Amino acid sequence: MDNRPIGIFDSGIGGLTVFKEIRELLPNEDLIYFGDTARVPYGSKSVQVIRKFSSEIATYLTLQNVKMLVVACNTASALALSTLKSETSLPVIGVIDPGVRAAIKFAGDGPVGVIGTRATIASGAYQDRISRLRCNLRFVARACPLLVPIVEENLMQSDIARMALEMYLSDFKKQQVSSLILACTHYPLLKSLINEFFEGKTVLIDSALETALEVREVLQARRINSDSTQSGHETFFVSDSPEAFSEIAADFLGRPVAGECFLHSWQNEI
């Protein structure tokens, strides 16, 4: 047994979708979340910059004595996962493979839609994995760069959000995609609007639950799950504006991230 915390990171608040599922599935594990709010979004940045940022955060979390790294960011998973695995002996889990497996499960005859940041879509990571697992399955992919700032600014129920979804998803609706992979951990925060746009006829896939299940499997396989019977402790780190993060995170999690939790501002300590 290993009572060290699990380290989870994302470019901003989107990874809280993964954090929330891990917490519900593993209530006794200690969790550390890092949101790189000073440098969000990652999707418009170069491969080299994304890898650099991801390595910096992984190093920082390792210094917090974590036992596992969960890359709760599709862009970082697509472009930096192999780099992180080569830099640490810790188990490193991304969000792409769990999401693809779930999408194929519900795909039927397809096609499968994929929406994500520019960097995620340009990497071809989702398209490649879909083709490997089911080579005859059609897919449609599109970058939706406006959606991350909409979520980061807490505009999930705004007219701006609806207009952006109409612009990005009209072609998916015309092609009658059977399932749609929300290939960015920010996008599940728009899930109700996306479901409304598709009139409930398309299965929406976010990798949060599937990733949490994989985290549990790896912990058990490596025998590093916690033996604590107490509720897990939570620590939140952000690279900018803890107050703004706290407000949005509380709305999403349905509870405050202060009090029994701790909110820190990262001061370029690496």
Catalytic residues: 73, 184
| 95 Cβ neighbours under 8 A, 6+ residues apart | 18, 71, 72, 73, 74, 77, 185, 207, 208, 211
Yes or no: say if 85 and 10 are a contact pair by the CB < 8 Å rule: no
* Structure tokens given for 30: 């200690």
Separation between Cα atoms, residue 128 and residue 166, nearest integer Å: 27
In single-letter form, the type of residue at position 45 comes to K
Is there a contact between 68 and 219 (Cβ–Cβ < 8 Å)? Answer: yes
Q: 184, exposed or middle or buried, with CB in 10 Å at 0-12, 13-18, 19+?
A: buried
End-to-end CA separation in angstroms for the chain: 29
* CB contact burial 112-150 (16+ within 10 A = b; e otherwise): bbbbbbbbbbbbebbbebbeeebeebebbbebbbebbeb
The residue with tokens 């004595």 is: 65
| CA distance linking residue 49 with residue 53, whole number of Å | 6
CA distance 130 to 101: 8
Distance CA(188)–CA(193), nearest Å, equals 10
